[in-house]
Amino acid sequence: MLFIEEYEIDPEKVPEMLKLLETTIEILDELKLPFLKGWTTYQSREDPSKMIGIWKLDTESSEPLGEAYMGHPKGKDVPPKFMALIKPDSYVAKNYDERISYK
């Protein structure tokens, strides 16, 4: 399944956001979650204020990810900082199940 996060950020805050997201990499390295198959964040070329995070999970929901992440000592600090960097009311999160794929 995919857990998708979409949000907007002022372009001048992107470096600060990327530094914060590097903390997520540190957290994930320490957690070594067997159900997490990958995570990538993209920034739109056409509209640099738009970003999307794609989490590839081998679970039925994103709940175990959130529980593990928030249970990490550094994990509790990231979400409030993350939300402070994004534009108000721009965050949307959705879970997607795979239906068909190619290669």
pLDDT in tens, 26-63: 999 999 999 999 999 999 999 999 999 999 999 888 89
Q: Tell me what the mean pLDDT of segment 87-97 comes to.
A: 96
In a domain, 82, yes or no: yes
Supply the pLDDT for residue 89: 97
**Two tokens, residue 13:** 């805050």
- Name the residue range of residue 39's domain: 2-96
CATH number, position 49: 3.30.70.100
**Two tokens, residue 92:** 């949307």
In a domain, 103, yes or no: no
In a domain, 68, yes or no: yes
| Residues ≥6 apart with Cβ < 8 Å to 4 | 52, 53, 54, 55, 93, 94, 95, 96
Helix (H) or strand (E) holding 42: strand 36-43
Supply the pLDDT for residue 61: 86
In a domain, 19, yes or no: yes
In a domain, 16, yes or no: yes
In a domain, 14, yes or no: yes
Asked if residue 11 lies in contact with residue 44, where contact means CB atoms within 8 angstroms, the answer is: no
In a domain, 38, yes or no: yes
